[in-house]
Amino acid sequence: MLRYVLRRLLQAVPVFLGTTLLIYALVFAMPGDPILALFGERTPNPAVLEALRAQYNLDKPFIVQYFLYLQDVFTGNMGATFSGRSVNDVLAQAMPVTVKLVIMAVVIEFFLSVVVGLISGLRAGKIADNVSLVIALIFNSTPVFVAMFLAQYFVGIKWGWAPVTVGGDTTWGAMLLPAIVIALTIFVTGMRLMRGSVIEAQHEDYVRTAYAKGLTSRRVIPVHVMRNSLIPVVTNTAASFGYLIAGTTITEGIFDIPGVGNTLYQAILRGEGPTVVSFVTVLTIAYVVLNILVDLLYAVLDPRIRYV
Amino acid sequence: MSRPTPEHYVAPFEGNDIIEIDAKQLPDRRSNLWLDAWRDLRRRPLFYAALIVALVVATMAFFPTLFTQVPPNDNCQLPLGTRGPNMGAPMDGHPLGFTLQGCDVYARVVWGARTSLTVGLLVVAITAAIGIPMGALAGFYGGWVDSFLSRIGDIFFSIPYFLAAVVVMTVFSEHKNVFVISFAIGGFAWASLARLLRAEVLQVKNKEFVLASEAIGRSKFSTLIRHVLPNSLSPVIVSLTVSLGAAIVAEAALSFLGVGLGSNVMSWGNDISEAQTTIRTAPMALFWPSLFLTLTVLAFITLGELVRDALDPKARARR
């Protein structure tokens, strides 16, 4: 196990260097004035331009610029947003909100995947299976902003069951609606995994043995079928945690949830290019780290992985 | 030219019992992976539904004038005076009503199909053009080629591709067009396709026909092109169909955020973004482009899923 962990961490080093280099090169190796290009049609304050040029060391050769930037990333110095707050401050305030939202969404996704996947796996090929597949596909194909608007319009405005926007009220209850919508739009993957492994498990020898020794399906399904089918669903849920931490931009923007995604959303809308780059860097790093953790989780849950 | 051949004794053909057993047992119908998949698909009503939606959208994209005579931008100033409680309500010749600016929603929805489909197809082409060589070469040659190409793929795979597209579009904010946005999406989306193909090639390259191809003197590269690649393409085609839908969503989402196509371009994402301000007063202007977007994406994703199912003999046997 320890060897696997070390190897996985070593593999992550080039990926980490590569991703940061890629983002950096994309933004700052542009011909012309990269800082000016980030603002598009807007003409920024000259003082802001000076500060940014100094922050990214644009007078030095590219590779030196990159390493100085990397040093900033490691020491947690990500610069400041346009309103003058440091990116670290904003993150410290916004990250807990995003994490809370994502945890809710992931828990709901997990239960949806398990329950719907179990039902369609046990009734494979029957009506319940086909109906749940079609419904899951419809949810999955609905672009996240369309789903959010539908929820906002019907649940929030028309029926008044939930607040239309979250705003400063980041309690569990207020964020339940966006969390449910996120879960609905992504649960198809987990549900299909659950369905597939339930179908396979039903044909396993140990399940036949369990029935043969006289156990009822009420005991066989939860203890023998479900337990072994849960592994892929658990890892898929963990993977979607990482994906969602970096992917709540639109949701948080529409529901005005004061998380990291919303900060990025506002920066995009206002055309604050450098702030966008800072936040994308942070979110990408978070995504890379979470993916490593997911891989380690795979190895813990499924011993076969470790020996490949 | 005729060489005298030594005479052979040949057993009489008639009346030999063995012939019955020896004859090859050919099935009555031809059978291969794609033919079986096609037979399976033809039996599923969902397949026809998805296909029809996809074809309608494609027709809309190529011949928008078949569906509407109203130019999408022409009379945008017309009904501004009709604002009020009844704002945006449908009227004769404008079945889906008007947007805040007074543009005809139906015309804009029809014309928007072209943008979505163009971006979708371009992204698929870019994804395939980068992902297929990367995955095929990495899987087939192995060794340092594999390590090198796979690490490059890992880097692109590790950046959430929507965020990457946001950065690219921010940097290129002065050059917003379908090509730039397609590169912004496809330039990062190829990594998962490369992974998928690499895994498939790894399996196929150990089959006997690959060995046979090399044994008859075909070069390694030619074996890859003629035998390995055609036999590894089925998951790639499925994945590309699904990614066509995903690319359409990505374009709409980028346009929705205002970093996609410029507001002068007809795009469902732009229209949804614009209509969100009137969600309380004129929800229908938000609803229609959303519906078309969702239906289109649903059609392509469903097609992909059904083909995936049909190509998987294990899944077929279960049904």
Closest CA to B115 of B37, B49, B181: B181
Mean pLDDT of A79-88: 77
Structural domain includes residue B42: no
pLDDT at A65 over 60: yes
State whether A273 and B170 contact (CB < 8 Å).
Answer: yes
Provide DSSP, B109-171: HHHHHHHHHHHHHHHHHHHHHHHHHHHHHHHHH-HHHHHHHHHHHHHHHTS-HHHHHHHHHHH
Q: How far apart are CA B114 and CA A13, in angstroms?
A: 43
Q: What is the pTM of this model?
A: 0.83
Q: How many helices (H) and strands (E) does chain B have?
A: 13, 0
- Classify residue B228: in a domain, yes or no: yes
What are the two backbone dihedrals, phi and then psi, of residue B98, each rounded to the nearest 5 degrees? -125, 160
Among A16-30, A61-75, A98-112, the range with the most confident prediction by mean pLDDT is A98-112
| Residue B32 is assigned to a structural domain of this protein | no
Tokens of A173: 């209850």
Structural domain contains residue B10: no
* Nearest-by-Cβ selection for A291 from B158, B172, B258: B158
Residues of chain B contacting residue A25, judged by C-beta atoms under 8 Å apart: none
**C-alpha closest to that of A18 among B151, B187, B191, B184:** B151
Count CB neighbours of B200 within 10 A.
Answer: 21
Of B112, B68, B61, which is closest to residue B255 (Cα–Cα)? B112
C-alpha B235/C-alpha B229 separation (Å) is 11
Please compute the mean of the pLDDT values over residues A220-229 and round it to a whole number. 85
The Cα–Cα gap between A65 and A69 comes to: 6
In a domain, B182, yes or no: yes
Contacts of residue A276 in chain B, CB cutoff 8 Å?
166-167, 170
User: Can you state the angle between helices B229-257 and B268-275, rounded to 10 degrees?
Assistant: 30
- Give a yes or no: residue B226 inside a domain: yes
Residues 194-253 on A with a CB inside 8 Å of B are: 199, 243, 246-247, 249-250, 253
Q: Do B167 and A23 touch (CB under 8 A)?
A: yes
- Hey, of A42, A146, A276, A280, which one would you mutate to test binding to chain B, going by the most B CBs within 10 A of its CB? A146
pLDDT confidence of residue B318: 52
Q: Are the CB atoms for A220 and A185 separated by under 8 Å?
A: no
Q: Which residue has the higher pLDDT, A268 or B124?
A: B124
Higher-confidence residue of B1 and A85: namely A85
**Segment among A89-98, A197-206, B60-69 with least mean pLDDT:** B60-69
Q: Is A280 in the B-facing interface, judged by CB distances under 8 Å?
A: yes
State percent of chain A over pLDDT 90.
Answer: 16
Closest CA to B216 of B227, B201, B230, B204: B227
In a domain, B92, yes or no: no
For A26, the closest of B167, B290, B319 (CB atoms) is B167
**Domain assignment present for B285:** yes
ipTM over 0.85: no
Q: How far is B317 from chain A (nearest CA, A)?
A: 11
* Separation CA B252–CA B258 (nearest Å): 10
What percentage of residues in chain A have a pLDDT greater than 70? 95
What range does the domain containing B230 cover?
104-318
**The predicted structure's pLDDT at residue B80:** 47
Count of the separate structural domains present in chain B? 1
Exposure letters A51-75 (e unless 16+ CB within 10 A, then b): ebeebbbeeeeeeebbeebeebbee
Q: What is the pLDDT of residues A113-159, one digit of tens each?
A: 999 999 999 988 788 888 888 888 889 888 888 898 888 888 888 88
Q: What is the pLDDT along chain B (319 residues), one digit of tens a residue?
A: 455 555 666 665 565 555 555 555 555 666 777 788 888 888 888 899 999 999 999 999 888 877 777 776 655 655 444 544 455 666 666 667 776 666 777 888 888 899 899 999 999 999 999 999 999 999 999 889 998 998 899 889 888 888 888 888 888 877 788 899 999 999 999 999 999 999 999 988 888 999 999 899 899 899 999 889 988 888 898 899 889 999 999 999 998 888 888 777 888 888 888 888 777 777 778 888 899 999 999 999 889 888 888 887 666 555 5
Residues B308, B178: Cα–Cα separation, whole Å: 29
Q: Which residues of B touch A (CB under 8 A)?
A: 46, 151-152, 154-156, 158-160, 162-164, 166-168, 170-174, 245, 249, 252-253, 256-259, 272, 276, 279-280, 283, 286, 290, 293-294, 297-298, 301-302, 305, 318-319
Instruction: Name the CA radius of gyration of chain A, rounded.
Output: 23
Query: What integer is the mean pLDDT of A247-261?
Result: 89
CATH number for the domain spanning B246: value is 1.10.3720.10
